[in-house]
A and B are shown apart, each in its own frame.
Chain A
Amino acid sequence: MHTYQIVVLVPYVSALVLAAIPGYRVGSIVNVLASAVTFAAGLWLIGDERTVGPYAIVDEFNIVFIAINTLVGFTTSIFSASYIGHEIETGRLPPSFVRFYHAMFQAMMGSMNIALVANNIGLIWVGLELATLITVVMVGLYRTPQSIEAAWKYFILASVGISLAFFGTILIYLAGQPALGEGVPAMTWSLLQGAAAKMDPAILDLAFIFLLIGYGTKIGLAPLHAWLPDAHAEGPTPISAVLSGLLLNVALYALLRFKMLIAGQPAALNPGPVMIVMGLVSLIFAAFMLYQRRDIKRLFAYSSIEHMGLMVFAFGMGGPLANFAGLLHMAMHSLTKSGIFFAVGHIAQAKGTQRIAEITGLSDTHPRLAVAFALAVLAISGMPPFGVFASEFLILTTTFAREPWLALLPAFGLLVGFGALLMRLQGTILGAPTGPTHRVDASSVPMVLHLALVLAAGIFLPAILVAWFQRAAELLG
């Protein structure tokens, strides 16, 4: 039994178990334990041998994603253990939902892990769609009109995305069919990649468009992003953290797998320019949207769009340095953004609201939370000593060195976004506090842990991680 099977199976098994555990306390402990086991397996996977099977693949590229995925899943489970307890106490969630919530959480993690380890392009699709559908349900968990509307919007847009991505998958199969024959081989990613040079470039181009639109919807690229802010804002905060930190990554992962495939056929159009354009549109658009946000979670949801745009831009630029930077940025964004959502969860509990205007003067009332939140927001804004600074440094410098004028656009978007984030940050932590303050129940361990990791990455990235990112970047071509 290979470790990747643990990574996939443990969540599903524990989902079944959790569906049977009615108690909140036991359920959350089991949830944390299961996530811990998955995380341990994810870590083990790094040192484990690489494997390529008909249905599963473990290579340098996806272990990066798996490690992050299981890590954030683990920390989120810790966070949600305390967070959901608070939600039940305050009556936002009926206790009966806890079973459902925990089971769904694990099923979602398992589905994402399927998408990540799958060597079959159909399986990638299945995993991603399962995860999407589960999050749809999670977003609607509060059953408020707003959350239902958000879930509905998410559902419709995601379903259309599903369909388009599926059509793209069919096209890839058709392209691989002449070289690999009918059946499973023509859907096996590793075989497809080997045969890429023999595939019909026109079909590959067409397929990539559908995959870009389809998976791009999941990534949250503008103008396909519409579901993302609402889904983040209306769902439970742990789910927002997972959405931003993980699901977007998994979708990006799927897209990148196909990009690698198409890079193997020189006659196909270069997907770079399209990715650059879509990345930039998302980046700049989201940056502008940040100014008008009044809900703190929606604010950071747009910030996720912005950063996914930056990553897609970096991967669109391509080359070892930009790919490395893109992967690093993805990892840093995952950790930081989920950390921010943890902090936002604390703030929302402390102030009893998500409305930015009603959150002021946190540095007076909750100094430690304010410091953590400020550090997290500054980290995501690309300030040292955090890891996002390193990735943005690499992206911008390498872009400027290659295309000086093009580099102005991402820089513009990032600066516009920074202006908004800083404005909101100052508004929330500074000034005279207003409104009531409440006790904060949620655990601050995950938040601090994420910040510490991002901080460490900004100062020192271990050589093993670097080598790992570099090999993954090479695979991306």
Chain B
Amino acid sequence: MFVQGGALGALAVVAALAAVSGRRFLLAVVYPVTALAAIALGVVDLAIWLGGGGFAAVLPIGLPTIGLHLRLDQLSAFFGVVINGGVLAASLYGMGLDRAKELTPRVEPLFPLFAAAMNLVLIADDAYAFLFSWELMSLTSWAMVVAHHTNAENRRAGHLYLVMAAIGTTALLFAFGGLAGPAGGYAFDTIRTQAPTPLIAALVLATALVGCGSKGGLIPLHAWLPLAHPAAPSHVSALMSGVMTKVAIYGFVRIAFDLLGPPAWWWSLPPIVLGAITAVLGLLYAVFDRDLKRVLAYSTVENVGVIFVALGLALAFRANGQPAAAAVAMAAALLHILNHSWFKSLLFLGAGAVLHVTGRRDLEGMGGLIHRMPRTAVFFLVGALSISALPPLNGFVSEWLLFQSVIAAPALPQSALNFAAPAIGAMLALAAALAAACFVRVYGVAFLGRPRSVEAARAHEVPLVQQIAMGGLALLCILGGLLGALLTGALAPVLKGLVGSELPNAGTGPTPFSLIAFDASRSNYDAVVIALFVAIASVAALLVVHRLSARRTRRGPAWDCGFPDPSPAIQYSASSFSQPLRRVYGAVVFSARETVVMPPPGDLQPARFSVALIDYIWTTLYIAPWRALLRLSERLNALQFLTIRRYLVLMFAALVILLSIAAVTI
């Protein structure tokens, strides 16, 4: 507790110092201090997650009469590890920022505050403290989103972001209002003792889904995310995407699994359905986008969807008294939360490195970076393969657990969930395949091939400390993949707290690294054995090939069916890579239309090709209401320009209406 207090205090102090002085030196000090604080917080969290314990405190501040309730239990501690890991990586990356060019009082003072706010959400133990730090988290990140304020796009992104955040917070206000009841029992302990009525429970679930979903990027509440996350400086994007979305999920887990009491089976349907749609649509957005950071942000949307599916399944199993299956689904969710925080932070930091050295976010201007930034390229590759859920990296472990729980869903008594299971399974598989396509595209276009712009050709490696930040995360991705079974085993205390059971046969496999969902005869995955197998097979193949083959290698121009063109423009671009997917999915989901303008023979004008995608969610759920709002406000604005006599008419009408009502009702 003292560590927590001290670390959070240090964050606040360094933020205040940096804000007040604005000197470069103090701005630069922010990152080492945040890194140290993150280490301190993370170590405490790790100890509590694995060892139990934790603390609870009530401070005489916060909401009047309720006080500030703080508690660090194992669930919070687990999320604390997720968050502080991301904060540590982002701070390390921040330490490599160019002191003269990249530090600004618009970002650096807010960075530690943002980190502190996220930690506060986790230890908040009453509704006020929770929402207070939740909104503080939005606010600080908003300020960093609009840090590059001269860009109108960023301002728009910031506006949309904070408005959506406010909508989400309002929804959560309702959720906690429903939980606390009319008497105002805002402390979580009080809430746990109250059983809400079915109607209130349903409303709380719905509002919690809206509140946490909008922060996490659940479609259709996602629209701000791909705009705001990329607008912030890259290490902040990494925090927002890799970590802040996890805080959103924490909120949902806390409400749905802890505060709301025993679930009803149908609670699971909204998160499952929305999550599955989010998973698929998120990637479809990603795969058609050309902005590197936006692609990553959309991929975050997808992963949040996947996590919500897992949470929904956990709810369904729990409601049906199948704690073991619930534990599998919950383990999938928690593990994916951890994994995603690692690889998404890694990818955003990599994108930041690319952005820093090329000054570009547009994929079409990149290419060949694997030669100019060899280490970053390796780290990014690890991240890209991890996020595509490919074995033996970490993304696959959680994906595998999730598939196992989907496979168990047909055994549930409710036919709605039975029939949902295959659809969900297929959608998750589609999402996984799309993720692979998406990241092959990103990596292939950005890092492979030949440079498509001067900036890309002049790229260089980033400072060592940033490489360490990325390398550390890449290592975690690999270790997390190999030691997934051990990690899953470590989740046991958290799982017990949430669903009342741990994985039924964890640790009974042939090796300690065997991941067993239900029991060994049913399903099993052993990353270490597979990795060893693959390693042995590759070494064997290499040995054999080297023994047998000519071993001669010659460098020559690319073959390309005999028509090599030296221009890098001839390469497959990001847009052309997505063309097959656009034809298959884009036509259905986004009414994608391709137009080719071919000049007549003899005309020297270039032919033009353009693609039009319509984002129906954006046009119907965002643009249309916004226009309606503006139209209505314009209509109402006529009331600003009335004559005094007409204002008197309004007053008179109000009086007469009230009097008439009185005449009828008295």
* Complex A–B touching at CB under 8 A: yes
The answer to whether A321 touches B182 (Cβ under 8 A) is yes
For chain A residues 441-477, which have a beta carbon within 8 Å of chain B?
A: 458-461, 463, 465-466, 469-470
- One of A46-54, A180-188, A285-293 at the interface: A285-293
B636 interfacial contact with A, CB 8 Å: yes
| A368 to B646 alpha-carbon distance, docked (Å) | 43
The answer to whether B64 touches A397 (Cβ under 8 A) is no
Other-chain residue from A157, A210, A319, A396 in contact with B177 (beta carbon distance below 8 A):
A396
The answer to whether B655 touches A411 (Cβ under 8 A) is no
- One of B132-140, B258-266, B418-426 at the interface: B132-140
Point out the residues of chain B lying under 8 angstroms from A404, CB to CB.
Answer: 174, 178, 199-200, 203
Q: Which residue of A lies closest to B149 (CB)?
A: A430
Q: Shortest distance in angstroms between B598's beta carbon and chain A's nearest beta carbon?
A: 42
B163 interfacial contact with A, CB 8 Å: yes
The answer to whether A430 touches B178 (Cβ under 8 A) is no
| A150 to B644 alpha-carbon distance, docked (Å) | 10
Q: Which residue of B lies closest to A465 (CB)?
A: B64
Q: Shortest distance in angstroms between A375's beta carbon and chain B's nearest beta carbon?
A: 10
| A86 to B653 alpha-carbon distance, docked (Å) | 43
A390 interfacial contact with B, CB 8 Å: yes
Point out the residues of chain B lying under 8 angstroms from A290, CB to CB.
Answer: 633
| A422 to B632 alpha-carbon distance, docked (Å) | 19
Other-chain residue from B176, B636, B665 in contact with A397 (beta carbon distance below 8 A):
B176
- One of A2-10, A127-135, A337-345, A377-385 at the interface: A377-385
Q: Shortest distance in angstroms between A211's beta carbon and chain B's nearest beta carbon?
A: 11
Q: Which residue of A lies closest to B637 (CB)?
A: A292
The answer to whether B166 touches A418 (Cβ under 8 A) is yes
Other-chain residue from B61, B149, B178, B633 in contact with A459 (beta carbon distance below 8 A):
B61
Q: Which residue of A lies closest to B136 (CB)?
A: A384
Point out the residues of chain B lying under 8 angstroms from A378, CB to CB.
Answer: 139
A24 interfacial contact with B, CB 8 Å: no
Point out the residues of chain A lying under 8 angstroms from B654, CB to CB.
Answer: 213, 223-224
| A394 to B131 alpha-carbon distance, docked (Å) | 12
B558 interfacial contact with A, CB 8 Å: no
The answer to whether A415 touches B640 (Cβ under 8 A) is no
| Contact flags B238-271 to A (C-beta < 8 A → 1, else 0) | 0000000000000000000000000000000000
Point out the residues of chain A lying under 8 angstroms from B180, CB to CB.
Answer: 397, 401
- One of B82-90, B150-158, B539-547 at the interface: B150-158
The answer to whether B662 touches A205 (Cβ under 8 A) is yes
Q: Which residue of A lies closest to B154 (CB)?
A: A430
With A396-B177, A430-B149 known as contacts, the answer to whether A422 contacts B163 (CB < 8 A) is yes
The answer to whether A419 touches B163 (Cβ under 8 A) is yes
Point out the residues of chain B lying under 8 angstroms from A400, CB to CB.
Answer: 173-174, 177-178, 203
B170 interfacial contact with A, CB 8 Å: yes
Q: Which residue of A lies closest to B203 (CB)?
A: A404
A26 interfacial contact with B, CB 8 Å: no
The answer to whether A223 touches B155 (Cβ under 8 A) is no
| A217 to B132 alpha-carbon distance, docked (Å) | 35
Q: Which of A363, A393, A431 has the most CB of B within 10 A?
A: A393
Q: Shortest distance in angstroms between A454's beta carbon and chain B's nearest beta carbon?
A: 14
B647 interfacial contact with A, CB 8 Å: yes
Point out the residues of chain A lying under 8 angstroms from B63, CB to CB.
Answer: 390, 393-394
A206 interfacial contact with B, CB 8 Å: yes
B162 interfacial contact with A, CB 8 Å: yes
The answer to whether B655 touches A426 (Cβ under 8 A) is no
With A269-B666, A291-B629 known as contacts, the answer to whether A396 contacts B170 (CB < 8 A) is yes
Point out the residues of chain A lying under 8 angstroms from B655, CB to CB.
Answer: 164, 209-210, 213
A353 interfacial contact with B, CB 8 Å: no
In the complex, which range does the number of interface residues on chain B fall in? 35 or more
Q: Shortest distance in angstroms between B181's beta carbon and chain A's nearest beta carbon?
A: 5
The answer to whether A383 touches B633 (Cβ under 8 A) is no
With A224-B650, A226-B650, A319-B182 known as contacts, the answer to whether A389 contacts B132 (CB < 8 A) is yes
B146 interfacial contact with A, CB 8 Å: yes
With A426-B155, A431-B149, A432-B150 known as contacts, the answer to whether A289 contacts B636 (CB < 8 A) is yes
Q: Is the interface of B mostly helix, strand, loop or mixed?
A: helix
| A152 to B653 alpha-carbon distance, docked (Å) | 21
A265 interfacial contact with B, CB 8 Å: no
For chain B residues 604-660, which have a beta carbon within 8 Å of chain A?
A: 629-630, 632-634, 636-637, 639-640, 642, 644, 647-648, 650-651, 653-655, 658-659
The answer to whether B184 touches A321 (Cβ under 8 A) is yes
Point out the residues of chain A lying under 8 angstroms from B105, CB to CB.
Answer: 367
Point out the residues of chain A lying under 8 angstroms from B150, CB to CB.
Answer: 430-432
For chain A residues 336-359, which have a beta carbon within 8 Å of chain B?
A: none
A416 interfacial contact with B, CB 8 Å: yes
The answer to whether B634 touches A292 (Cβ under 8 A) is yes
For chain A residues 386-423, which have a beta carbon within 8 Å of chain B?
A: 389-390, 392-394, 396-402, 404, 407, 411, 414-416, 418-419, 422-423
B93 interfacial contact with A, CB 8 Å: no
Point out the residues of chain B lying under 8 angstroms from A117, CB to CB.
Answer: none
With A288-B633, A289-B633 known as contacts, the answer to whether A431 contacts B155 (CB < 8 A) is yes
B128 interfacial contact with A, CB 8 Å: yes
For chain B residues 556-605, which have a beta carbon within 8 Å of chain A?
A: none
| A389 to B63 alpha-carbon distance, docked (Å) | 10
Q: Shortest distance in angstroms between A238's beta carbon and chain B's nearest beta carbon?
A: 24
| Contact flags A328-339 to B (C-beta < 8 A → 1, else 0) | 100000000000
The answer to whether B629 touches A288 (Cβ under 8 A) is yes
The answer to whether B170 touches A209 (Cβ under 8 A) is no
B549 interfacial contact with A, CB 8 Å: no
The answer to whether B131 touches A291 (Cβ under 8 A) is no
Point out the residues of chain B lying under 8 angstroms from A466, CB to CB.
Answer: 64-65
Point out the residues of chain B lying under 8 angstroms from A201, CB to CB.
Answer: 666
A138 interfacial contact with B, CB 8 Å: no
| Contact flags A282-310 to B (C-beta < 8 A → 1, else 0) | 00010011111000000000000000000
A366 interfacial contact with B, CB 8 Å: no
| A229 to B647 alpha-carbon distance, docked (Å) | 13
For chain B residues 172-225, which have a beta carbon within 8 Å of chain A?
A: 173-174, 176-178, 180-184, 186, 199-200, 203
| Contact flags A314-326 to B (C-beta < 8 A → 1, else 0) | 0000010100100
| A397 to B636 alpha-carbon distance, docked (Å) | 29
The answer to whether A205 touches B139 (Cβ under 8 A) is no
The answer to whether B644 touches A153 (Cβ under 8 A) is yes
Point out the residues of chain B lying under 8 angstroms from A20, CB to CB.
Answer: none
The answer to whether B155 touches A229 (Cβ under 8 A) is no
Q: Which residue of A lies closest to B652 (CB)?
A: A160
| A423 to B157 alpha-carbon distance, docked (Å) | 11
A29 interfacial contact with B, CB 8 Å: no
Point out the residues of chain A lying under 8 angstroms from B62, CB to CB.
Answer: 459-460
Point out the residues of chain A lying under 8 angstroms from B666, CB to CB.
Answer: 201-202, 205-206, 269
Q: Shortest distance in angstroms between A421's beta carbon and chain B's nearest beta carbon?
A: 10
The answer to whether A397 touches B184 (Cβ under 8 A) is yes
Q: Shortest distance in angstroms between A428's beta carbon and chain B's nearest beta carbon?
A: 11
Q: Shortest distance in angstroms between A441's beta carbon and chain B's nearest beta carbon?
A: 24
B159 interfacial contact with A, CB 8 Å: yes
Q: Which of A210, A384, A396, A399 has the most CB of B within 10 A?
A: A384
Identify 27 residue pairs between A and B in the complex whose beta-carbon atoms are under 8 Å apart, listed by A's number.
A157-B644, A157-B647, A157-B651, A161-B651, A205-B666, A210-B655, A223-B639, A223-B653, A226-B639, A226-B644, A289-B633, A291-B637, A292-B634, A361-B149, A367-B105, A385-B132, A389-B132, A390-B63, A390-B64, A394-B63, A394-B184, A398-B182, A401-B181, A401-B200, A430-B158, A431-B152, A459-B62
**8 smallest A-B Cβ distances: which pairs?**
A397-B177, A400-B177, A430-B149, A226-B647, A223-B650, A291-B633, A292-B637, A460-B61
Question: A: which residues have CB within 8 A of B?
Answer: 152-153, 156-157, 160-161, 164, 201-202, 205-206, 209-210, 212-213, 217, 223-224, 226-227, 229, 269, 274, 285, 288-292, 319, 321, 324, 328, 361, 363, 367, 378, 381, 383-385, 389-390, 392-394, 396-402, 404, 407, 411, 414-416, 418-419, 422-423, 426, 430-432, 458-461, 463, 465-466, 469-470
Known: A206-B662, A431-B155. 12 other contacts (CB 8 A): A156-B644, A157-B644, A213-B655, A288-B632, A324-B64, A384-B139, A392-B173, A397-B173, A397-B174, A397-B180, A431-B149, A461-B64
